[in-house]
Structure 1
Amino acid sequence: MEVKTFGVIGAGQMGGGIAQVAAASGLNVIIMDVSDAALEKGIGLINKNLSRNVEKGKLDAGEKDAILGRLKTVTTLEGLAPCEYVVEAATENEALKFKIFEDLDRICKPGVILGTNTSSIPIGRIAARTKRPEKVIGMHFMNPVPVMKLVEIIRGIATDTETFKLTWDLCVKFGKTPAEANDFPGFIANRILMPMINEAVFALYHSVGRKEDIDTVMKLGMNHPMGPLELADLIGLDTCLAIMETLYDGFRDSKYRPCPLLRKYVEAGWLGRKTGKGFYEYK
Structure 2
Amino acid sequence: MPTVGIVGAGVMGKDVAITCAAYGYDVVLCDHDPGVLASAARDIRTLVRRYRLMAPDEPCWNDPGIPGRIRIGEDLAVLAGADWIVENVVEDVAVKEQVHRELREVGGAGSRIAVNTSCVSITRIAALAARPEEVIGMHFMNPVPLIKCVELVRGHHTSDETTKQAEAFVSVLGKRPVVVRDMPGFVSNRLSHLFMNEAAFLVQEGVAEPEQIDAIFTLGYGHKMGPLATADLIGLNTVVDSLQVLYDDMQDPKFRCCPLLKRMVAAGLVGRKSGQGFYTYTASR
Structure 2: any 5+ residue segments left out of the alignment? none
Q: Which residue of 2 aligns with 1:43?
A: 41
Shift of 1:8: 0.4
Give yes or no for contact 1:19–1:31 (8 Å, CA) kept in 2.
Answer: yes
Shift of 1:41: 2.4
Q: Which residue of 2 aligns with 1:81?
A: 80
Report the identity percentage: 40
Shift of 1:84: 2.0
Normalised to the residue count of structure 2, the TM-score between the two structures is: 0.91
Q: 1:206 to 1:35 in 2, by over 3 A?
A: closer
Map 1:90-101 to 2 at 5 A: 90-101=89-100
Shift of 1:60: 8.3
Q: Which residue of 2 aligns with 1:123?
A: 122
For residues 13-64 of structure 1, the C-alpha deviation after alignment (integer angstroms, 9 at most, x for no partner) is 2111111121222221111112454234222232223335666575589822
Q: Distance in 2 between matches of 1:271 and 1:68?
A: 28
Shift of 1:226: 2.1
Total equivalences in the alignment? 280
Q: 1:71 to 1:202 in 2, by over 3 A?
A: same
Q: Which residue of 1 aligns with 2:8?
A: 10
Give yes or no for contact 1:229–1:279 (8 Å, CA) kept in 2.
Answer: yes
Shift of 1:225: 2.4
1:24 alignment partner, one of 22, 25, 33: 22
Map 1:187-202 to 2 at 5 A: 187-202=186-201
For residues 110-166 of structure 1, the C-alpha deviation after alignment (integer angstroms, 9 at most, x for no partner) is 342111111110001111122211111111101111111111100110111111111
Q: Which residue of 1 aligns with 2:236?
A: 237
Q: Secondary structure at 2:41's aligned position in 1?
A: helix
Q: Which residue of 2 aligns with 1:33?
A: 31
Shift of 1:240: 0.9
Q: Distance in 1 between matches of 2:190 and 2:60?
A: 39
Q: Secondary structure at 2:63's aligned position in 1?
A: helix
Give yes or no for contact 1:87–1:117 (8 Å, CA) kept in 2.
Answer: yes
Q: Distance in 2 between matches of 1:168 and 1:80?
A: 21
Q: Which residue of 2 aligns with 1:63?
A: 63
Q: Secondary structure at 2:64's aligned position in 1?
A: helix
Give yes or no for contact 1:16–1:43 (8 Å, CA) kept in 2.
Answer: no
Shift of 1:204: 1.4
Q: 1:158 to 1:76 in 2, by over 3 A?
A: same
Aligned-residue Cα RMSD (Å) equals: 2.0
Give yes or no for contact 1:50–1:64 (8 Å, CA) kept in 2.
Answer: no
Map 1:125-204 to 2 at 5 A: 125-204=124-203
Give yes or no for contact 2:22–2:61 (8 Å, CA) kept in 1.
Answer: no
Give yes or no for contact 2:275–2:281 (8 Å, CA) kept in 1.
Answer: yes
Q: Which residue of 2 aligns with 1:276?
A: 275
